[in-house]
Chains A and B, each alone.
Chain A
Amino acid sequence: NAGVTQTPKFQVLKTGQSMTLQCAQDMNHEYMSWYRQDPGMGLRLIHYSVGAGITDQGEVPNGYNVSRSTTEDFPLRLLSAAPSQTSVYFCASSKPGLAGRTGELFFGEGSRLTVL
């Protein structure tokens, strides 16, 4: 099994450009999420989904869109890239655990995005 697959692994954008980070999982996990990692900030939640057709905002959603048309896929769209969106992005998936809250996260390998 591939687990969680993210593409691309590296991307350079110019300010104002748009792009989509792809994320796919083959573990039939209900929950999926996107995080950004910045030095000294840990991982911060951008958006998450609890199933096909259901998404919600996390801690830092501004400038990002998501959709979940299938259980497997959860793409992250940058609408108009800004230098502040330079970061490493992680997609993750999980199954429900206690009381329906998430269990262990399975991560993709990360995508390093630079916005000039």
Chain B
Amino acid sequence: AQTVTQSQPEMSVQEAETVTLSCTYDTSESDYYLFWYKQPPSRQMILVIRQEAYKQQNATENRFSVNFQKAAKSFSLKISDSQLGDAAMYFCATNSGYALNFGKGTSLLVTP
């Protein structure tokens, strides 16, 4: 079975600073996607960023970028210039067949 591990249950960052959330995964597939989802207190699941495993270039979306290390099966999320609105649960996921396999999440606190 595929597993996704987020080793940091909680992280804290000051406004305007940079924070990196860790994710490792296990898969036997050669082609797959990796995702980071954000869940604010509203409970809505919001896609932050997506990475195709066959692409060597790391995905970037505005202040969010990933460090994708395929051999190490690592997929960390970097948030630059953190804002109060970034406070949320962040989930790492990989596609496992016809659904996604999620990590347990990292709760990000942003302090003024």
Within 8 A of B (CB), among A29-74: 31, 33, 35, 40-45, 48, 50, 56, 58
Within 8 A of B (CB), among A72-95: 88, 90, 92
Within 8 Å CB of A12, what residues of B? none
What is the size, in residues, of chain B's interface with A at 8 Å between Cβ atoms?
26
Closest B residue to A38 using CB positions: B104
Q: Is the CB of B98 within 8 A of A42?
A: no
Within 8 Å CB of A44, what residues of B? 102
Q: How far, in angstroms, from A41 to B91 measured CA to CA in the complex? A: 11
Q: Is the CB of B104 within 8 A of A40?
A: yes
What is the size, in residues, of chain A's interface with B at 8 Å between Cβ atoms?
27
Q: Is the CB of A102 within 8 A of B50?
A: no
Q: Is the CB of B99 within 8 A of A48?
A: yes
Inter-chain residue pair count (beta carbon < 8 A): 71
- A8 vs chain B, min Cβ distance (A): 14
Closest B residue to A33 using CB positions: B99
Per-residue CB contact flags for chain A residues 83-116 toward chain B (1 = under 8 Å, else 0) read: 0000010101000011101111101011000000
Within 8 Å CB of B52, what residues of A? 98
Q: Is the CB of B98 within 8 A of A98?
A: no
Of the residues B9, B32, B96, contact of A98 by C-beta under 8 Å:
B32
4 extra interface residue pairs, beta carbon distance < 8 Å, beyond A42-B103, A92-B100? A40-B9, A48-B98, A101-B97, A102-B95
